[in-house]
Amino acid sequence: MLTPMVAGGVVFPGLFLLSKNTLQRLPQLRWEEADAVIVSARLVSSVQAVMASTAGYIVSTSCKHIIDDQHWLSSAYTQFAVPYFIYDIYAMFLCHWHKHQVKGHGGDEGGARAPGSTWAMARGYLHKEFLMVLHHAVMVLVCFPLSVVWRQGKGDFFLGCLLMAEVSTPFVCLGKILIQYKQQHTLLHKVNGALMLLSFLCCRVLLFPYLYWAYGRHAGLPLLAVPLAIPAHVNLGAALLLAPQLYWFFLICRGACRLFRPRGSPPPSPCQIQD
């Protein structure tokens, strides 16, 4: 178990540092540290999403029997991804820190920061990103032990499908980068927004009804009878995983309504377009 986790602990922070240093030092780029940090964090998230989705596709398509069939990638990638969620909490804090500095709220320019300001910024970060931080913490402290111990080698098909939920992440990351650099009215942003909406709906929201349907087909049950045929704690776990997806999907839909509003409508205010 330690080998995949150590590998993940090297790959994700290492990729972040490599990307940040490249963006800062390449003569053709010479980006500011804030820009390099934000884009590098999004890049690492996108790379992890592609890796997770690919692993999930391989696992889910390889398991013909949705309960008993196993694939080595299911446990190996789960272990490999654990350090990513820990790293990403810190990476998101760095992004918050640099955004705060760029907006000019970081105290006197170039001078020493006021005592306690780091904690104030940490509180602001937790307030703004509480749901995402909670999601990452649950993935490490709850979902990882459950997937490794509680499953006892069963249900790799379902784990593979859950990994494929990351399909939408690269579109989310690109959208945030475009908004950060005031490109939210470009054609690229609109196309990316449509793809993000569609992928999030299919791979994160409709994923859960699909998993219930897949089990119903396996057990010879109609879809509506599945929740009554499986243990209550499974339904509770699915509901807890689905709830934040529905909230984020609502935010995406609200952003899409602003993005595709008629040309004559007033533009969104700056506070509305901040991520």
Summarize pLDDT for 108-163 with one digit per residue, the tens: 444 444 444 778 888 899 999 999 999 999 999 998 988 887 888 889 999 999 99
DSSP characters for 218-275?
A: HHT--GGGHHHHS-HHHHHHHHHHHHHHHHHHHHHHHHHHHHTS-TTSPPPPHHHH--
Task: Determine the longest span between alpha carbons in the chain, in angstroms.
Answer: 68
Domains of the chain, residue spans: 1-98+152-165, 167-257
Q: What is the pLDDT along the chain (275 residues), one digit of tens a residue?
A: 689 999 999 999 999 999 999 999 888 777 889 899 999 999 999 999 999 999 999 999 999 999 999 999 999 999 999 999 999 999 999 999 988 776 554 444 444 444 447 788 888 999 999 999 999 999 999 989 888 878 888 899 999 999 999 999 999 999 989 988 888 888 999 999 999 999 999 999 999 999 999 999 999 999 999 999 999 999 999 999 999 999 999 999 998 887 777 555 554 444 444 44
Q: What are phi and psi of 15, to 5 degrees?
A: -65, -40
Q: What is the pTM of this model?
A: 0.86
Helix (H/G/I), strand (E/B), else coil: 206: coil
CA 21 – CA 36 distance, rounded (Å):
8
pLDDT tens, residue by residue, 244-264 = 999 999 999 998 887 777 555
